[in-house]
A and B are shown apart, each in its own frame.
Chain A
Amino acid sequence: MPNQKTKIPFKGTPEQEKKLREVIEKHKDGKGSTMIILQEAQGIYGYLPEEVQLIIAESMDMSLSEVYGVVSFYSQFSLNPKGEHVVAVCMGTACYVKGAGDILERIEKKLNCKAGEVTPDGKFSVDAVRCIGACGLAPVITIGDNVHGRLEADQVDGILEQYMK
């Protein structure tokens, strides 16, 4: 899954930075708190661009490469901003054997957006995710907080169109 440095310019606000610094201050002295801070930082910004990693590295007295090493290791940390609607296709085994691959392909084609990317208008991002545990609804996708289960490939276009308005 491509998770390269984003091409979209950083648009962080002073309020976000203030929040981030408060989070760092709160957890700084806790043992092994890097991941906790990164998780909260992603909650504030929606992703972890270089600018945010740099603030964390400097206030934690770590090198940027150390922070980047942790960020790039875990699939939950994103270097790219997410779309307004986050489309997640479950690729767990139960969904896969019931055709999740075809569903993903349809979505990528319909949105012209590969898994791990965001559409240029920022409206959709597509992720191929690990088992979300709704195996009884396989194959299943989530769009934002909505769950669409027991899907067939030709239902995909119609579902996406509901979110395009």
Chain B
Amino acid sequence: MEFVRSHILVCAGTGCTASKSHEVFDELVKQLESNGLDKEVKVIKTGCFGLCELGPVVVVYPEGSFYSRVTPDNVKRIVEEHILKGRIVRDLLYHETVKKDNISSINETGFYKKQLRIALRNCGIINPENIDEYIAYDGYAALARALTEQKPEEIIEIVQKSGLRGRGGAGFPTGRKWEFAAKAQGEEKYVACNADEGDPGAFMDRSILEGDPHSVLEAMAIAGYCIGAENGVIYIRAEYPIAVHRLEVAIGQAKEYGFLGKGIFGTDFNFDIEIRLGAGAFVCGEETALISSVEGRRGEPRPRPPFPAVKGIFGMPTLLNNVETYANIPWILQNGWEAMAKIGTEGAKGTKVFALGGKITNTGLVEVPMGTTIRDIVEVIGGGIPGGKKFKAAQTGGPSGGCIPASHIDTPIDYETLTSIGSMMGSGGLIIMDEDNCMVDIAKYFLDFTVEESCGKCVPCRIGTRRMYQLLEKITEGNGTMEDLDTLEELCEHIKQNSLCALGGSAPNPVLSTIKHFREEYVAHVRDKKCPSGICKNLLTYKILDNCKGCTACTRVCPVNAITGKVKEVHVIDPAKCIKCNACVEKCKFNSIIKE
């Protein structure tokens, strides 16, 4: 084995790639070569570190120096100072790791301290395109032991005892699902992986596939052994090109090593995995719709039962789990069910990965034990809300979930507590909103999404969501009545009870939860014709305050000449002409223009 004195890890997740981490990588390779260091220092592309806000991220080992927002121009200094002379470039480090007299480990920063990485255990540590690195971290050991030493029933029992529940949203006990699929009869069986991560604002499944694809492949092979399936299918969004590529590479390598294919580990167990690309339909995250899409048809759901465990892909028994769920499996089998059962709350064991976004300082991917409070995630891990604004709500579960208000910020997160306050776990999108976000507008945003994504098969969802959207539109335009609020709530209940699948059944959640927790905001829109957050355009008027310096910048930028006034005198906006384009507010240097 080659010996290298330093490893430089460059994040190659989607977030960092978008901020040009590949250019940083290329520059690193170039600089190391020109300094003659390419034999003793190795540069590796890894999966997501989680702290996407600070991308591109570069970490140098053995020191563990965490460089953030690295540009190609910074690379020369890192190589010449740090690598060549051993002097860490302090001003390029993530500022939280830099203390007065020493540099602390990244694991001691607020962002990482409260995290516990199980599903993400290898992300940002190994090179996802090199199977040897996965094996070095005990990869495929669980599969080897399963095939050569354990019976399928034993493994299913371990999964059951661990308390693992589906991480895709609904939280069905994983072990029981495996048991059903194992008992079902069929000439063929399928193990499928749901990687159709459609919730806008959730990207944990993609990051796992990009950062540690083998953990999912290994888990699927174990599942195949447990339920007696030889076919694996990964249904993944075509919008995730990096993840698809890494999966293809990983499947190829696993086949080469004999971890997939015929006669795995010298046993008579055969298992193969095929990738199927989705084509942009949110409803395909629903299991029966996903199956229909894998079969090449319109991705419309069908009534259950029969459940996929009995009748799934091409009519055969199918075990369908989410990416994050699978990523937990090898860890449980390696560490024992007790290790997982120790973590979390009474009803929810282990950890959950959240994609933290919106109005938060540290946007990124975080994995926390079940039962962590929203406050810890927002204030400690997320680093609070930027710009000194106040926390208003956290949205979980995307278009199927709801908004959690500040009064519930100390709620420990698990499946049941979130449902009881009108939201849901969902796949793990966690969007933070501050006082500038209008809750009626957010409800409308999610409804717009569901209207667009409703497959149209059942009436409550197809027509009901559109009616809901129209009512919200009426309210945000200032034409709502108090009766509309009652109609809206009534409609929500009907849609919830009568829709065919979970998309329709959960579509009212964003509306119901915002009405429940932010009723006064709806009332302000309806009765006072005001949008307290200044978002709903029809309800706003722009006004120039007396501290206007008369610099005339606004008059020049106004596209409709609605602003008049002399130089060095207070200007006036003609509300009849104003089209509320906000151009003047952006231009004004003195914060003299307000919306109310």
Q: Which residues of A come within 8 Å of B, CB atoms?
A: 1, 31-36, 38-39, 69-70, 73-77, 91-94, 96-98, 102, 129-138, 140, 147, 149, 152-154
Contacts and interface: CB of A to CB of B under 8 A. Distances in A.
Interface string B202-232: 1100100000000000000000000000000
Contacts of A131: 199-203
Contacts of B281: 73-75
Contacts of A33: 296
Given A92-B201, A97-B437, A136 B280 contact: no
Contacts of B203: 131, 133, 135
A137 B238 CA distance: 21
Which of A32, A132, A133, A137 has the most C-beta atoms of chain B within 10 angstroms of its own C-beta? A133
Shortest Cβ-Cβ A-B pairs, 4 listed: A136-B52, A94-B357, A74-B279, A32-B296
Interface residues of B, number: 55
B460 interface: no
A140 B296 contact: no
A74 B299 contact: yes
Interface in B275-294: 276-282, 293-294
A39 B279 contact: yes
Interface in B1-53: 14-15, 18-20, 52-53
29 contacts: A1-B452, A32-B295, A33-B296, A35-B296, A38-B279, A73-B299, A74-B281, A75-B279, A75-B280, A75-B281, A92-B201, A92-B357, A94-B357, A94-B358, A97-B359, A97-B437, A97-B442, A130-B200, A131-B200, A133-B206, A133-B239, A134-B14, A134-B19, A135-B201, A136-B54, A136-B357, A137-B18, A138-B363, A154-B586
A34 B160 CA distance: 38
A140 B398 CA distance: 19
Which of B19, B200, B282, B363 has the most C-beta atoms of chain A within 10 angstroms of its own C-beta? B200
Contacts of B398: 93
B296 A132 contact: no
Nearest to A27: B296
A97 B430 CA distance: 12
B119 interface: no
A129 B431 CA distance: 18
A70 B281 CA distance: 11
B297 interface: yes
Contacts of B455: 73
Contacts of B296: 31-36, 70
Contact of B314 (A32, A92, A138): A32
Interface of B: 14-15, 18-20, 52-55, 198-203, 206, 238-240, 276-282, 293-300, 314, 355, 357-359, 363-364, 395, 398, 429, 431, 433, 437, 442, 445, 452, 455, 582-583, 586-587
A97 B535 CA distance: 10
B245 to A, nearest CB: 15
Contact of B200 (A32, A73, A91, A140): A91
B358 A73 contact: no
Nearest to A70: B298
Nearest to A88: B239
Nearest to A97: B358
A94 B238 contact: no
Nearest to A96: B445
Which of A97, A102, A153 has the most C-beta atoms of chain B within 10 angstroms of its own C-beta? A97
A92 B20 CA distance: 21
B297 A70 contact: yes
Contacts of B295: 31-32
A57 to B, nearest CB: 13
A81 to B, nearest CB: 18
Nearest to A140: B18
